[in-house]
Amino acid sequence: MFECPICEGTGGWTEYVDLEPGEGGPYTPCQNCDATGRMGIKRRLSYWFWNTVPVRFVEWYGDWRYPYE
């Protein structure tokens, strides 16, 4: 299991950055790791792939994946 790079292993965040979860402000669970703070190997590899592949490939794949946008 790998630490989630979006929430940095906390599982979510508050709207106000300086507050801890539960101290006030709405708490937003992380959608990337399902509020666990950890990611499995499949999700981690997918995250790595979509954040490091060349832009030309993403543009080509985007046309195939989302044909109705």
- Confidence (pLDDT) at 69: 47
- Distance in angstroms (rounded) separating the CA atoms of residues 15 and 57: 35
- Distance in angstroms (rounded) separating the CA atoms of residues 18 and 11: 16
At 15, the amino acid letter reads E
**Tens-level pLDDT at each residue, the chain (69 residues):** 688 888 877 877 766 666 665 566 677 788 888 888 888 888 888 888 877 777 666 666 655 555 554
This prediction has a pTM of 0.50
- Confidence (pLDDT) at 32: 80
